[in-house]
Amino acid sequence: MIKRAAVTGHTTGLGNSFFRLLSDRGYQVHGFSRTTGYDLRDYSCVTNMLEQIKGFDLFINNAKPDYVQSQIVYRLSREWTSGTIVSIGSQATIQNPNWSDTFLMEYLTQKIALCHAHTLLQPVAKCQLVIVHPAHLGDNTDLYVNQLLTELAL
């Protein structure tokens, strides 16, 4: 049986590494990003995406427009009775960077909301919830993703 995965923000960076490396591992991978017509700031696009991925085995919650990552975790955890949701958090939530730039503070607040969503949902979700907090990976993105996929037995 071919496993199916969905990745948001799959055209660059971490999302692209997940997309490629899951494909290499035999997954049928579907990418959702603005380049494929899915602006996740649009609630109807999120709803459409969630309809398409019913019954999938894995969801990589990577794209970060506004608080959409948190919203997706709440919605999927209500709908999925199996499978794994991997959310991409940020190292900044673990090691407070003491930023003074309000744009960076807003980013940090959104990532903290994602962490909080995982904490609240963990005891009640019927699917597996995983949140990771990568630092800036540079050229090590593929190595990080491969290691994570191996650790999660995916």
pLDDT digit string, tens, across residues 18-37? 999 999 999 999 999 999 99
Residue 46 has pLDDT above 80, yes or no: yes
**Maximum Cα–Cα distance for the chain, whole Å?**
50
Distance between CA 63 and CA 37 in Å, rounded? 14
Q: Coil, helix or strand for 99? A: coil
Residue 78 has pLDDT above 90, yes or no: yes
Q: What's the pLDDT score for residue 114?
A: 97
Distance between CA 101 and CA 134 in Å, rounded? 21
What's the chain's average pLDDT?
94
Residue 133 has pLDDT above 80, yes or no: yes
Query: When comparing pLDDT for 2 and 57, which is higher?
Result: 57
User: What kind of fold does domain 4-151 have according to CATH?
Assistant: Rossmann fold (3.40.50)
Q: What's the pLDDT score for residue 41?
A: 93
Residues 6+ apart with CB under 8 A from 55: 4
Residue 149 neighbours by CB distance under 10 Å: 19
Confirm if 73 and 129 have CB atoms less than 8 A apart. yes
Residue 2 has pLDDT above 90, yes or no: no
pTM: 0.94
Task: Give percent of the chain above pLDDT 90.
Answer: 82
Provide mean pLDDT across the span 105-113: 93
Q: In DSSP terms, which residues pair with 61 in a beta bridge?
A: 87
Q: What's the pLDDT score for residue 94?
A: 82
Residue 96 has pLDDT above 80, yes or no: no
